[in-house]
């Protein structure tokens, strides 16, 4: 490049009195030689590093794109997995709620059944107690009635009475029983 510029300066300094637009075969020859020499030097020294740099940049971009795609796929997989886990968690929550409701219903039924059983037992016990008290009262009355009947019969036998007197004594006896 330096040679090209220096040759241009020599031509412009005025050796032949021509202008820059005139065709000069010597100048064309040296310009072509300088260009080819510069091309060879650039090819040997700069072309490979430039191509290598471009190739490295291309590889870096490809790898970056591949990493980005891999990261995107991984993110999508994680998202899908999280969605599945969330769905499973919701399903588990619904199961737990259903089990809780079922347990509460069973407990309610059990408590009601136990309450009914306890109430029936209390009623049966009270009925048995009432029956026992009635039986005691009946036995007591039976004994008293038997004693009173014996006493009345004894009075009747002691006093040999006619039929009217016997009826009066029995009626009086019944009245006495009614009063007591």
By mean pLDDT, which of 2-6, 52-56, 58-62, 170-174 is the weakest?
2-6
Give residue-wise pLDDT tens across range 87-128. Answer: 999 999 999 999 999 999 999 999 999 999 999 999 999 999
How far is it, in rounded angstroms, from Cα 159 to Cα 146? 20
Number of domains in the chain: 1
Supply the range of the domain harboring residue 162: 2-179
Contact 170, 159 (CB under 8 A): no
DSSP string for residues in 16-79 = SS--TTS--HHHHHHHHHHHHHHHHHHIIIIIHHHHHHHHHHHHHHHHHHHHHHHHHHHHHHHH
Amino acid 158: pLDDT = 67
How far is it, in rounded angstroms, from Cα 91 to Cα 70? 31
How far is it, in rounded angstroms, from Cα 93 to Cα 84? 14
CA angle 173, 158, 167 (to 5 degrees): 35
Percent of the chain at pLDDT exceeding 90 = 49
Contact 167, 142 (CB under 8 A): no
Comparing 8 with 37, the larger pLDDT belongs to 37
Structure tokens at 55: 């190739």
How far is it, in rounded angstroms, from Cα 136 to Cα 121? 22
Amino acid 35: pLDDT = 94
Contact 142, 160 (CB under 8 A): no
In the structure, what pLDDT confidence band is assigned to residue 159 with cuts at 50, 70 and 90? low
Compute the mean pLDDT over every residue in the chain, rounded to the nearest whole number: 84
């Amino acid at each position: 490049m330096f040679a090209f510029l220096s040759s241009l300066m020599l031509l412009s300094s005025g050796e032949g009195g021509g202008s820059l637009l005139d065709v000069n075969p010597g100048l064309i020859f040296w310009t072509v030689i300088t260009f080819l020499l510069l091309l060879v030097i650039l090819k040997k020294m700069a072309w490979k590093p430039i191509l290598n740099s471009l190739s490295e940049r291309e590889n870096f971009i490809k790898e970056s794109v591949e990493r980005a795609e891999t990261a995107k796929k991984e993110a999508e997989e994680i998202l899908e997995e999280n969605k599945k886990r969330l769905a499973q968690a919701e399903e588990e929550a619904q199961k737990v709620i259903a089990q809780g409701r079922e347990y509460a219903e069973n407990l309610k039924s059990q408590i009601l059944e136990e309450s009914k059983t306890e109430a029936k037992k209390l009623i049966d016990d009270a009925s048995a107690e009432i029956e026992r008290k009635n039986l005691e009262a009946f036995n007591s009355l039976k004994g008293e009635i038997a004693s009173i009947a014996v006493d009345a019969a004894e009075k009747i036998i002691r006093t040999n009475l006619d039929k009217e007197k016997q009826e009066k004594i029995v009626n009086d006896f019944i009245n006495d029983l009614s009063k007591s």
